[in-house]
Amino acid sequence: MGALRKPAIRTSASYIKPAHVRTWLEIEARFRALAPSLKSARLDAQWGAAGEHWHVSGGVDSLVRHEFELLCGVAGQLLERVYSKKNLDDARLLAITDPKMRWYTLLKQSVPFQNPIYGEQQHSDGTPAGIIYSATLPSPADSSANLCLALQTQHPIVERPSKWQWFHDNYGKALIVGVVLALIGAAIKIFTG
């Protein structure tokens, strides 16, 4: 019996496999394709004393919302390929282990959220427990697509060939020619004595 493979997750439009999305422009196109279906959606954010919470809200089909969330996870994984842990701001973002939350956080840092509000959380005895902040991002698919375009200009994803592919590309032809010439030379030596 063959090895088991992870099944691709079926969404409303297509299959999403992170390894198949190779550039920011590819994922930008996927976000753009979802934008009409997410026209009435918004991304709600809450952070502060009560932790960080995200929710895609609005009149959205659950399959479309799920595909958007998966694309955000793929985009968050791609950040690992272009951001550096040596840069303090990048390292803070990369420290977020959930790729979807990483993408949402980058959206919050990069795109102006609307309707910011805050309130004070209190313990049951009335003492302050900290501040809770909230804001919303309308058109999260369009904002994500625009962020992908910005990342394409600032941090393009560069395909790095495998070591074998690099060796083949740089030495393969010369190695084959060398082997063929060595065989021809050996054959000539055998026949000419």
Domain check: are 27 and 77 in the same one? yes
Q: Which residue has the higher pLDDT, 161 or 92?
A: 92
Q: Is the pLDDT of residue 141 over 50?
A: yes
Residue 178 has a pLDDT of 78
Report the mean per-residue pLDDT for the chain: 85
pLDDT at 120 over 60: yes
Helices (H), the chain: 24-34, 62-82, 88-94, 99-110, 140-154, 163-167, 173-192
The pLDDT value recorded for residue 14 is 41
Of 15, 65, 32, the closest CA to residue 148 belongs to 32
Confidence of residue 160 (pLDDT cuts 50, 70, 90): low
> Are both 111 and 188 inside the same structural domain?
no
Residue 3: inside a domain, yes or no? no
Q: How many domains does the chain have?
A: 2
Task: Give the per-residue pLDDT at 15.
Answer: 42
Highest mean pLDDT among 2-6, 16-20, 50-54, 160-164: 50-54
* pLDDT of the residue at 140: 97
Q: What contacts 11, CB < 8 A, 6 or more positions away?
A: 63, 66, 67, 70
Instruction: Compute the average pLDDT of residues 83-91.
Output: 91
Considering the domain architecture, whether residues 86 and 134 belong to the same structural domain is answered as yes
Q: Do residues 105 and 172 share a domain?
A: no
Report pLDDT for 19: 53
CB 35 within 8 A of CB 144: no
Global model pTM greater than 0.75: no
- CB-based contact 35:58 (threshold 8 Å): no
pLDDT of residue 70: 95
Assess if residue 165 is contained within a domain: yes
Q: Report the Cα–Cα distance between both ends of the chain, in Å, rounded.
A: 54
* Pair (15, 108) in one structural domain: yes
Same domain, 110 and 48: yes
pLDDT tier at 180, thresholds 50, 70, 90: confident
**How confident is residue 165, by pLDDT bands cut at 50, 70 and 90?**
low
Q: How far is the CA of 7 from the CAs of 44, 54, 104, in angstroms?
A: 30, 27, 25
- Residue at 4 is within a domain: no
What pLDDT sits at residue 1?
Answer: 45
Q: Which domain holds residue 80?
A: 9-160
Residue type, 55: H
Q: Are residues 99 and 172 in the same domain?
A: no
Count Cβ atoms below 10 Å from residue 2 Cβ, excluding itself: 4
Q: Is the pLDDT of residue 10 over 50?
A: no
